[in-house]
Amino acid sequence: MTRSRLRIGLLALVAGSACHHTSPAMPGSAESAGPGLRVLTRHDKPAPSSVVLVSSSSGKVLAIERGDDAGVVRLALEPGLYKVRVASPKGYAVREVDLRKDLIALRLDDSCELVAGVTSDELGPGDIAWLLTVPGGEYFGAIIDRDRTFRACVPANAYALDPDERLAPFFAFEPPAKIRFDAYKRERIEVPPPETAAPASHASIGELVSRNTVIIGIGEANHGSREFLAIRLKETLALARTQDVRYIALEAGAAEVFPLDDYVHGASVDVRGAVSKIGYWMWDTEEFIATLEAIRKYNASAAASERLTLIGVDVQTASAAAAYLRTSRISLSPQQRDALDLVGAADNLTQLPGERASTLSEAFAALTLPGGDSPSLRLELARLQIECRFAMLTQTNRLSPIVREEGMERMTNLLLEKLGANRAVLWAHNGHINTDPHAGYIPLGARLRAAHGHKYMAVGLLMGSGEFRAWDVNQKVGVVSHRIDAPPAFTLEAHLLRHFVAGPVFASLDEVPAELAQWISIPRRAVEVGGQMSSEWRLRNHSAAFDAIGFVPRVSPTTPTPTGVRKAS
């Protein structure tokens, strides 16, 4: 084998939503989700493989997946034309393939060079994808098994280890001591966090907002820390007073938020009952009710043109939207009423016959709103919420998170059409507001960046230590408090905690010292969870994901209301 220089990096096998609010999604089976390949040897035997999918237009790596024992690889990607590079112990293939929802057979070439290796580190749970690249842009993936070994065939005379390459500890809780490759030079690889100067700190998000910014995503590293909600409120009120922010877009259903918006505008509303009907435990807290009280107080003293309006942009529910449309002054046909009833009550429509699905789609498309070319925003939001929820319900569990992000984008874009000269903030998890597409999963923030450029600004909120609420790892107990005494040494949060023991502070990632900027440009584990606690930290490329970060050295758990308590059944 020719020892041309090789760069080896790590990618996470990421597919799925940042959080679970209503009911946990169960993994889709290999035979039921998305477009896919069936990888076979030249003798038509199944060939479990590592498959790298590359964009045919940009050449960007979109995903790395592993096949099952039958050689089947299912993909959380839209059907279309992709370049695929398959590496298996049985052979390899490089093809441009038109992937449909049915399985496409792909046969391997026999002539290949076997690359085998073993890592000497104790790895975190889950599979690991190694992305091998060589000059000229060829990519091959090798999946590391739980026994820490890997085997793959690649074109002969292509690869050798670059001993100068530094590997980040993406899949371990401690920096790795060494990584060993059979038949290659053993190399000790250490990745200590850089001892660099701290990034320049700012007291508020407002100091970082550019003149062109229209919507500001303010994230959170988990759904159960009271400090993140307090920061969002403080920063949003400041932006409302000084930078024309007039809307707050929430990670919640649009129609469920209508009563909350009435409340903050002074109406008599059972606010606790309205909050419980959102259906998300993350909002059903004493802290969020206090937040609504603060916004109501702000609106009471603000001029009418300066008041804050609440908008829901999530699409995981539809019952409230269906009820809102049924009780509005809209002329509904019997077919449209049936469609609203079905989608409003459904949890899953993947088995819906194609003809019935087409009828429902036509019913929604024909729904005429009063007001001519300028219907009320609430009616438009409710109709769009129904349409997007229907799209989610007809997808497999593996693909529905992607459709969810598409729906949230459509809801947010509808809001942006109504802004005029005003601005908005978006309150959602870091996993939604970030601008970094990965493994075929394009979050809301990345979609907004692609559509609107830097009119969209993403601010990720990070935490150091403390307690927060989330579902337990196995969802056998409920939403409980979890404690983090200190972030792992190889994380960005650990680096920030050394410099900022008091907070919160904000930093633009354009102002990060050069050495630190280079260090965080590699994807690293982040002290971040969604609605459910994980046994390993989420992979995050901070420099690609956020324009700025806010750091909270210590967090504390939110306080659930009586209806906000969640226990496993």
- 344 phi, psi to nearest 5 deg: -65, -30
Beta bridge partners, 488, equal none
> Can you say how many angstroms the Cα of residue 567 is from the centroid of all Cα atoms in its chain?
25
**Mean pLDDT in residue range 239-264:** 98
Domain architecture of the chain: domains with CATH: 7-154 (2.60.40.1120)
Amino acid 474: pLDDT: 85
Q: How far apart are CA 497 and CA 551, in angstroms?
A: 9
- Quick one: pLDDT band at residue 6, thresholds 50, 70, 90? very low
pLDDT tens-place string over residues 437-464: 865 679 999 999 999 999 999 999 999 9
Q: What confidence tens digit (pLDDT) does each residue in 20-37 have?
A: 333 322 223 333 456 788
Mean pLDDT for the stretch of residues 73-79: 75
CB within 8 A of 388, min separation 6: which ones?
A: 315, 403, 406, 407, 408, 410, 411
Task: Indicate the helix (H) or strand (E) that contains 519.
Answer: helix 514-520
Cα of 417 vs its chain's centroid, Å: 24
Three-state DSSP class for residue 49: coil
Long-range contacts of 267-276 (CB under 8 A, 24+ apart): 272/561, 272/563, 275/561, 275/563, 275/564, 276/561, 276/563, 276/564
- CA 391, 347, 275: angle at the middle one, nearest 5? 95
Interior/surface letters 436-471, b for 16+ CB within 10 angstroms, e for the rest: bbbbbbbbbbbbbbeebeeebbbbbbbbbbbbbbbb
Long-range contacts at 536-539 (CB < 8 A, ≥ 24 apart)? 536/124, 536/125, 536/126, 536/171, 536/173, 537/488, 537/491, 538/431, 539/12, 539/14, 539/170, 539/438
Mean pLDDT value across residues 495-514: 87
DSSP 160-215: ---TT-----TT-SS--S-B--TTS--B----PPP--PPPPPBS-GGGG--TT--E
The total of other beta-carbon atoms located within 10 Å of residue 243's CB is: 15
pTM: 0.71
pLDDT in tens, 359-417: 888 888 888 887 766 678 999 999 999 999 999 998 877 678 889 999 999 999 999 99
